[in-house]
Structure 1
Amino acid sequence: MKQHTTVQERIDALMRQYDGPVPSASVLVLRDGEAIVRRSYGLADLGSGTAADPTTNYRLASVSKQFTATSILLLAQDGRLRLDDPVRRWLPTLPDAADAVTVRHLLTHTSGLIDYEDVMDPDSQVQVHDADVLRLLETQYRTYFVPGSDYRYSNSGYALLALIVERASGQRYARFLHERIFQPLGMTATVAYEAGVSEVARRAYGYSFEQGRWQRTDQSSTSAVLGDGGIYSSIDDLARWDAALYDERLLRSQMLQEAFTPATATDDPDVQYGYGWRITGETLWHSGETIGFRNVIVRYPRQHLTVVVLTNRNDPEPYALARQIAGLAMAK
């Protein structure tokens, strides 16, 4: 227990900038399935002064992509789709330029599809949804490169994957996530948030430091797209998610191994990409960045160690911090 306390004290020192009346951070360190660190710092809501705690739900941003990928893999496991299906089998309104794009290309960011953010109306304040991403891409008669020939990180691809989940399952994407992943794992407060449809319990609101003070910047015009980043969750629920990545409660071991196997190089020579996971050596990880939130999950499967850092602020990006925390946990 004393060793755990020492690790906690060192992590507290690292987290000093998140403590007090400022936007928060929640930190989880799991070793052998046990939470050796489970602590929150700062405020989930500056307006009400609500403190963050381990049940606070943050917008995961691109950490959501591992859930989108798992949804696709569940349907492949069910025999409802194949990873080498042409995307136009499921989304036939895409233009001919997408003929060669497969579901696997979407998972691995090798589709070459145009980024929907680049073809949105820059002056519009209306939030786009996954179906709007499809409508935007229906007007794009080119790709950045021949599908499968290169890597370019693609939020478009993951929005389309959410739509494919809907077509293949016959369920709304948020409902599929709830019934096939969140509910079975006991992730009771995790939700793919849809304004007017669902609520986020114990919600953290996003902030950015602007003009010398923290200002709420919780939503942007792309925040309603679910497949690429619309899930809210807490460190407590992500502990349940992490546990399921070591067994076959959701995916068979062969499918999990495929998700965790490098499928493509990326624009960082140290990083490869699987299905919803970045891979650096033996480390599986993914960051998530959106207006007012910066998050990361870093897994060391061989050491049975996982670090999660969730924050409701625009800066800094916490990947390096999570690696530092992991180093402290390994050295104890």
Structure 2
Amino acid sequence: MRFPFFLYLLLAMTMLNGLASANAQGFDAALEKLVARQYASAAAPGAAVFVLQGKDRFVKGYGLADLTKRLPVTPQTQFRLASVSKQFTARSIYELIRSGKLQYTTALGTLFNDLPKAVRAITVRQLLQHCSGILDYENLIPADQHAQLSDEDVLRLIQTKDSVYFQPGSKFRYSNTGYCLLALIVQKLGGMRYEDFVKQQVFDPLALNEALVAHPGVFIPHRAYGYHPEGNGFRFADQSLTSATKGDGGVYMSVEAYARWARVLIESATDSNGYFNTIIKDPFPVKDGIGYNLGWFICTEADGSTAVFHSGESTGFHNIVYINPHKNTMVIIFSNRDDFKIAALFQDITAQVGIGPKALAIAHTPLFNWLNSLYAEQ
């Protein structure tokens, strides 16, 4: 007896669907095991994790977003992104350049009054690439400072010092100062508050629901609060003197929303003039074959493909993101505890999905630790 062709087709499709389901279950189980190894306690601060590899997708929250109210971390929980925020400041600058209001070569002296001579010739591109040599504002904060600093305060601190670390454009030195000044440029040329510009020009067009730049009086829905390990427990550590600046680290976002931003980058990689290719074009060299541009570190993987990544570290929060459009792969980890469990987890996940900078893989250097040491060189 011969079966009709459509029955063979139906049987084949059923088998393929079953295989895909089994693969997805295996993918989830493997990642669940890795995450649970680091964030096992449901009663401690935790993390939200989003991993995409090809067609496989894993997203889940672990631990508590708020220890007082016992609120769990979910994929919708909004974390302070810290330095991961820099990519949104850079995207805002890109929008100003695209609209003809600014150029990469524009010098700070044409944008701000009363700048010291040593700072006036620094360009927008040099700020974006951390090669300006501008002084770190954290080292200029007065000993008797008690109020949180704003981006405007950062500008005032810079106006008091007629010096730079090195000739602008000559070397890499990671700078929060530069991104605070970029936020002020966005505000000045965008004709509105920085947080409003980012919302209107970046978040809303990409449907990054509830994402926002923190500012005085704002309500942050589904907010995670930051904690620091202390003894056998955790100390509330959500804010510091530098937690109110916007351009260098003020964004709050969930992994669910961030994954949509990452998807936009992945899709733009197919366009030679798309934003991903703008990011990876002419980066400034950092070290170990890794470069920097527009709020992203840029690397080459063992197979020759290009990926971008960044971490964010501030009191109470540690985060890391990694995107390889050529492999349709992304890893997003946002954590509301400033310990280094995230470093081990990120290393385990990237090994599981087969991504990572070629140079660091050869040296067996965990990427989060590499980034942490780089920031410490400030």
Q: TM-score range by the shorter chain?
A: over 0.9
Residues of 2 paired with 1:168 and 1:2: CA distance?
53
Q: Which amino acid aligns with 1:50?
A: L
Q: What residue number does 1:293 align with?
A: 317
Q: What's the CA shift for 1:244?
A: 1.6
Any unmatched runs of 5+ in structure 2?
1-20, 301-305, 356-378
SS at match of 1:296: strand
Structure 1 position 93, deviation (Å): 2.6
- Of residues 350, 358, 362, the one that matches 1:326 is 350
Q: Scaled by the length of structure 2, what TM-score is found?
A: 0.82
Matched-pair contact (CA < 8 Å) for 1:107–1:158:
yes
Q: Are 1:63 and 2:79 an aligned pair?
A: no
Residues 81-115 of structure 1, C-alpha deviations (whole Å, 9 max, x = no match): 00100012112332111122000000000100000
User: Comparing both chains, which one has the higher relative contact order based on Cα–Cα distances under 8 Å and sequence gaps of 6 or more?
Assistant: 1
Select the structure of larger CA radius of gyration: 2
Query: Structure 2 CA distance, aligned partners of 1:293 and 1:111?
Result: 27
In structure 2, how many angstroms separate the alpha carbons of the residues matched to 1:292 and 1:270?
A: 31
Greater CA drift, 240-249 or 56-65? 240-249
- 8 A contact 1:295–1:317 mirrored in 2: no
Distance in 1, matches of 2:111 and 2:341, equals 36
Q: Secondary structure at the match of 2:266?
A: coil
Gap change, CA 1:159 and 1:213, over 3 Å in 2: same
Are the equivalent residues in 2 in contact too, given 1:73–1:255 (CA < 8 A)? no
Deviations 1:154-176 (A, max 9, x none): 00000000000011111110000
| Preserved CA contact (<8 Å) 1:297 1:307 | yes
Deviation sequence 1:267-317 (CA, Å, 0-9, x none): x42421121100121220000000000001101111011110000001116
1:293-312 correspondence to structure 2 within 5 Å: 293-312=317-336
- Runs (4+) of structure 1 moved beyond 3 Å? 246-249
56-65 vs 314-323, which moves further: 314-323
Shift of 1:4: 2.0
Q: Deviations over 1:113-166 (max 9, x none)?
A: 000000002342210011110011000100000000111000000000000001
Amino acid at match of 1:127: Q
- The whole-number CA distance in structure 1 between the counterparts of 2:113 and 2:335 is 39
Matched, 1:51 2:75: no
- Structure 1 gap segments, 5+ residues each: none
How do residues 141-180 of structure 1 correspond to structure 2 at under 5 angstroms?
Answer: 141-180=162-201
From the superposition, tell whether residues 110 and 118 of structure 1 become closer, same or farther in structure 2 (CA, over 3 Å).
same
- Give the secondary structure class of the aligned counterpart of 2:87: helix
Question: Do residues 271 (structure 1) and 290 (structure 2) align?
Answer: yes
Conservation of the 8 A alpha-carbon contact between 1:247 and 1:253: no
Contact 2:107/2:122 (8 A) holds in 1: yes
Residue of structure 1 aligned with 2:142, choices 103, 114, 121: 121
Equivalent residues in 2 for 1:57-206, closer than 5 Å: 57-196=78-217, 198-206=218-226
In structure 2, the CA distance between the partners of 1:247 and 1:75, relative to structure 1 (3 Å rule), is farther
The one-letter code sitting in structure 1 at the alignment partner of 2:199 is H
Bigger helix fraction: 2
**Partner residue of 2:367?**
none
Residues 240-260 of structure 1, C-alpha deviation per residue, up to 9 Å, x if partnerless? 1112213469x9935541212
Q: How many corresponding residue pairs? A: 327
Which residue matches 2:257? 237
Q: Using the alignment, how far apart are the partners of 1:11 and 1:18 within structure 2?
A: 12
Cα RMSD (Å) of the superposition? 1.9
